[in-house]
Structure 1
Amino acid sequence: MYPRPIAPTAAAHRTIYVSLVALVLVLWLLPLVAVMLTSIRSFDEVMAGQYWNWPKKFSLIENYTAVFQQTAMFRFFLNSLIITLPSVAGVLVLATLNGFVLSRYRFKGATLVFALFVGGNFLPAQIMMIPVRDLMVKLGLYDTFYALILFHIAFQTGFATLFMRNFISALPDELFQAARSEGASPAQTLWHVVVPLLRPALAALAILTFTFVWNDYFWAIVLTQSDAVKPVTAGLNNLRGEWVSAWNLVAAATILAALPPVTMFFLMQKHFIAGLTIGAVKG
């Protein structure tokens, strides 16, 4: 099932493997390099079709400043924060509660409830487009922040519940037995015993959920219409002109839009890796 490790004595195989990894890495990074170079080019160079050569004139400050001065990107960034932060908080709270109950308590229908959470992850998002949109219209939430927040919380909670259930299941049973012997209620056990031990899992889940919600484009264009509500992913499309597009500004805005999740990952990388490894040791 897993690839066999390459023996240290197999120099030829190791060389081929390293070469293929380097080739894949270069091919994967090429589009990113092109976007980064375009983001610091002048408008004249972009219009001349110069995308890969070294820029003749660096317009880094001009392009990145113009993104906020000439477009509504600041509004789109603020919209993304308004949508993403409550969504992440809601997913973390619901996933923690669901994971605690499903991992530590046995009740009739628990397997079915857990299967519903897991099964939702296998549904293609596209088949839910019309029902979800119609539901938001009937509720009067279409083209509002609440539509995206509610959808992301509902959609991400399934995977998050699976993640938290596995993590809490890996905690020693002696901790819960000691809490019960001390007379702690389930709520007290969750708050004073479980939650302090969930920091790696919460950090990992927060990064994953933040990235999923922040980078979402499909539901951003399905559930929003006005610029006052659009997140940054949908707002990037507004930078394209009807006849001429300033691709240097589009590239600069794209780099700026990618910075929050990347920064969050590097700041919490240690907790992210710990959360993934600890949470995956027990089903």
Structure 2
Amino acid sequence: MFPTPIIQTSRPTQWLYRVGLPLALLVWLLPIIAVAFTSVRGQGDLANGNYWGLPTEWRILENYSAVFQNTPLAHYILNSFLVTIPTVIGALTLACMAGFALGVYRFKLNLVVFFLFVGGNFVPFQILMVPVRDLSLKLGLYDSIAGLALFHIAFQTGFCTFFMRNFIRDLPRELVEAARVEGASEIQIFFKVVLPLVRPAVAALSVLIFTFIWNDYFWATVLIQGNHAMPVTGGLKSLNGMWVAQWHLVSAGSIVAALPPVLIFFAMQKHFIAGLTMGATKG
């Protein structure tokens, strides 16, 4: 079996694993720990270069209340929800229908169409910046929440279709054939047979896409200019003063902005793990 379970490896390997894993986890968590401490520091600590030590002045309520009272962070978070939720719904809806067509039906260009969906994921999104911006200007979608959501739906549908097609294709084909024999229409098969069986996959994909879109910074700054439609990832940079660096407020805003994806993950953790492990074993 590969990879070999750690308990079956040699003692030096087990010792290296037990020592190396906590160290790797600590290194990975260091930036997050630094941001968390900075979010509760006073301005004096940052001015004196106290970035890693304990705060000399704890300003938990002051900093986090200032983020909402003195900055438009709440408006940025609302914009992120207005972009992320329609994107998740739109991308999953298109992906489930496309995945059903590619996974259930057998037609000559099935693989060609599937590879078109997959191939889009290999295009570096940076080279699309100029044409996408020009297209958004021509369509009147530039600097708008609707425009950003529509482009996110277009970009995410390829990956979602790849994900859903593989899950739907692994379903027992006899279930679809039996439903057809019973007189069910293709729409009924899609809604009453296929979708209930791939619900864990849909849940897992929704968590992934929600996280991807919520954390997007590139397209948020390329397609949005004004604060009226700016998501929270792009809006965090405005929490810094023009003349004075307010890193304690930026850090507090970053912690607040990171909470929705974390809460979504823990709320759907059971479905997320079930979706990722679906089909991994055969009973």
- Fold agreement, TM-score > 0.5: yes
Instruction: Report what 2:165 is aligned to.
Output: 165
Tell me the equivalent position of 1:177.
177
Q: Which residue is equivalent to 2:91?
A: 91
Q: Cα offset for 1:196? A: 1.4
Give the Å deviation of 1:181. Answer: 0.8
Distance 1:230 1:176, change over 3 A: same
Deviates more, 1:226-235 or 1:38-47: 38-47
The 1-side partners of 2:9 and 2:59 are apart by: 50
Q: Which residue of 1 aligns with 2:75?
A: 75
The answer as to 2:106 corresponding to 1:117 is: no
Per-residue deviation, 1:102: 0.1
Distance in structure 1 (CA, Å) of the matches to 2:169 and 2:3: 29
Does residue 249 (structure 1) correspond to residue 245 (structure 2)? The answer is: no
Match of 2:132 in 1: 132
Say yes or no: does 1:102 pair with 2:102: yes
Quick one: which amino acid aligns to residue 170 of structure 1?
A: D
| Distance across 2 between alignment mates of 1:78 and 1:280 | 38
Alpha carbons of 1:236 and 1:279: their partners in 2 closer, same or farther (altered >3 Å)? farther
Secondary structure of the equivalent of 2:154? helix
1:5-84 map, 5 Å: 5-6=5-6, 8=8, 10-84=10-84
Q: TM-score, normalised by structure 2?
A: 0.95
Structure 1 residue 213 corresponds to structure 2 residue 213: yes
CA separation of 1:164/1:280 partners in 2, compared to 1, >3 Å: closer, same or farther? farther
**Structure 1, 168-177 or 95-104: larger mean CA deviation:** 168-177
Separation of aligned partners in 1, 2:76 and 2:178: 49
SS at match of 1:183: coil
* Aligned CA distance change for structure 1 residues 131 and 9 (closer, same or farther; 3 Å): closer
Unaligned 5+ segments in structure 2 are: none
Displacement of 1:8 after TM fit?
4.6
Contact 2:240 2:249 in 1 (8 A): no
Amino acid paired to 1:114: F
Aligned residues of 1:99 and 1:168 also touching (Cα < 8 A): yes
Encode CA deviations 1:1-23: one digit per residue, 9 max, x unaligned: 95544455732221112212221
CA–CA separation in structure 1 for the residues paired with 2:47 and 2:87: 40
Tell me which amino acid in the other structure corresponds to 2:191.
Answer: W
* Poorly superposed stretches of 4+, deviation over 6 Å: none
Q: Is the 8 A contact 1:73 1:235 kept in 2?
A: yes
SS of match in other structure, 1:244: coil
Assess if the C-alpha contact under 8 Å between 2:41 and 2:58 holds in 1. yes
Which stretch of the first structure deviates more once superposed, 14-23 or 138-147? 14-23
1:79: Cα distance to partner?
Answer: 0.4
The whole-number CA distance in structure 2 between the counterparts of 1:104 and 1:256 is 43
8 A contact 1:41–1:58 mirrored in 2: yes
Question: 1:212, 1:273 → 2: CA distance?
Answer: 17
Determine the structure 2 residue equivalent to 1:189: 189
Instruction: Indicate the residue corresponding to 1:234 in structure 2.
Output: 234
* Greater Cα shift, 206-215 or 9-18: 9-18
Cα distance per residue 1:97-141 (max 9 Å; x no partner): 000000000123221111110000101110100000000000011
| 8 Å Cα contact 1:39/1:251 also seen in 2 | yes
Q: For the Cα contact (< 8 Å) 1:166–1:280, is it kept in 2?
A: no
Q: Please state how far the C-alpha of 1:56 moved relative to its aligned partner.
A: 2.0
CA-atom RMSD in angstroms: 1.7
Q: Gaps spanning 5+ residues in structure 1: where? A: none
The SS at the match of 2:210 is helix
Normalised by the length of structure 1, the TM-score is 0.95
For 2:26 and 2:281, the matched residues in 1 are separated by 33
- Given the superposition, is the C-alpha separation of residues 129 and 280 from structure 1 closer, same or farther in structure 2, using an over 3 Å criterion? farther
- Report the CA distance shift for 1:159/1:43 in structure 2 as closer, same or farther (over 3 A): same
Higher mean displacement: 107-116 or 232-241: 107-116
Instruction: Give me the whole-angstrom Cα distance separating, in 1, the residues matched to 2:84 and 2:273.
Output: 22
Q: CA, structure 1 residues 120+281, in 2 after alignment: closer, same or farther (shift >3 Å)?
A: farther
Matched pairs, number: 282
Please state if 1:198 is matched with 2:198.
yes
Counterpart CA distance in 2 for 1:98 and 1:248 is 46
